[in-house]
Amino acid sequence: MAVRKNQANLTATEKRNFVNAVLELKRTGVYDGFVRTHNEFIMSDTDNGDRVGHRSPSFLPWHRRFLIQFEQELQKIDSSVTLPYWDWTADRTATASIFAADFMGGNGRSRDAQVTTGPFAYSTGKWTINVSVDNRNFLQREMGAAGTLPTRAQVDAVLAMPVYDTAPWNSASEGGFRNYLEGWRGAGRVHNNVHVWMGGQMATGVSPNDPVFWLHHAHIDKLWSDWQRMHPQSAYLPAAGTANVVDLNDTMRPWNNVTPAQMLDHSSYYTYA
């Protein structure tokens, strides 16, 4: 059984194996397919229209399926690799070990926000940005220039919300766990604020260009799992018959063969350490 670990607890070997598998997916072009898919959804998911990947109840099951697919691709390269998660309530500085040169690499330099350390620096020749919103082909970060990393207290306040999601099932939904975790509502603006804090590509529609994307979303996925254990009586909503929204037993694009109901229990795919 795959076990997803806190990135802070990875051994040097586990970090190296993860990085090497990511670089191999990049080399073969598989990686950029994930970036393109994410951007297509983020540009087409709208509050008043069809919405699947973001700003909707299926934000969580969609990203769970997206991460499983990515993890399976990593495991084709190295069967020992699983997705680590980044708990940004604990590791909250640009000098935390996650951003050391043996793992994710550091912040961007001041002149052009270019990441110049670690395995994803442009100078390595192994990490060219191909799916981009502009003509820069190097990874960028501006950690802390905008946004604020959510605090543990802000996350706990969101985890305490008993209702999964509420009408109108979009970025304006009030009083439900999903939209406060996604961060269109709430003091912490939880998931969104981490993207903003990272800056560079992480703040854009092509955010999976930064491998930190997967570690961030693995933590969001773990928080959904934590919430489920805290609220065993709380169900995914809406149940059925909702226009433009993925109901419990509707299939999700782009796979068209998986429903939120099938993503509620991750334990057949992986567990969290």
Partner 1 sequence: MSSNVSRRVVLRGTAAAAAGVALLATAAQATDHTGHTTTEDHTGHGGHGTGPAAFDEVYKGRRIVGKPVTGGHEAHHGGFAVTIDGKELHVMQNADGSWISVVNHYQVFDQPLALTRAAVDALRGATLVPIAMN
Question: Residues in the site for partner 1, rule: CB under 8 A?
Answer: 36, 39-40, 42-44, 46-49, 55, 112-113, 131-136, 146-147, 168, 170-172, 183-184, 191-193, 195-196, 199, 203-207
Give yes or no for a contact between 237 and 251, defined as CB atoms under 8 angstroms apart.
no
Tokens 């990875």: give the residue: 10
To the nearest whole angstrom, how small is the minimum distance from the Cβ of residue 205 to partner 1? 4
Q: Alpha-carbon distance 109 to 198, whole Å?
A: 13
Cβ count near 55 (within 10 Å):
21
Phi (first) and psi of residue 39, to 5 degrees = -65, -35
Cβ count near 186 (within 10 Å):
20
To the nearest whole angstrom, how small is the minimum distance from the Cβ of residue 7 to partner 1? 21
Cβ count near 168 (within 10 Å):
14
Residue 10 or 206 having the CB closest to partner 1: 206
To the nearest whole angstrom, how small is the minimum distance from the Cβ of residue 155 to partner 1? 17
Residue 118 or 199 having the CB closest to partner 1: 199
End-to-end, the C-alpha distance of the chain in Å comes to 11
Q: Which residues of 3-29 are buried (b: 16+ CB within 10 A; e: fewer)?
A: ebbbbeebeeebbebbbebbbbbbeee
Residue 71 or 142 having the CB closest to partner 1: 142
Tokens (6 digits) for 203: 């703040």
- Which among 146, 225, 228, 221 has a CA at the least distance from the CA of 189? 146
Residue 126 or 136 having the CB closest to partner 1: 136
To the nearest whole angstrom, how small is the minimum distance from the Cβ of residue 107 to partner 1? 15
Q: Give the torsion sign (CA, 63, 205, 117, 29).
A: positive
To the nearest whole angstrom, how small is the minimum distance from the Cβ of residue 185 to partner 1? 9
Residue 41 or 103 having the CB closest to partner 1: 41
DSSP-derived pairing of the beta strands 270-272 and 2-4? parallel
To the nearest whole angstrom, how small is the minimum distance from the Cβ of residue 86 to partner 1? 16
Residue 39 or 82 having the CB closest to partner 1: 39
Residue 17 or 39 having the CB closest to partner 1: 39
To the nearest whole angstrom, how small is the minimum distance from the Cβ of residue 191 to partner 1? 8
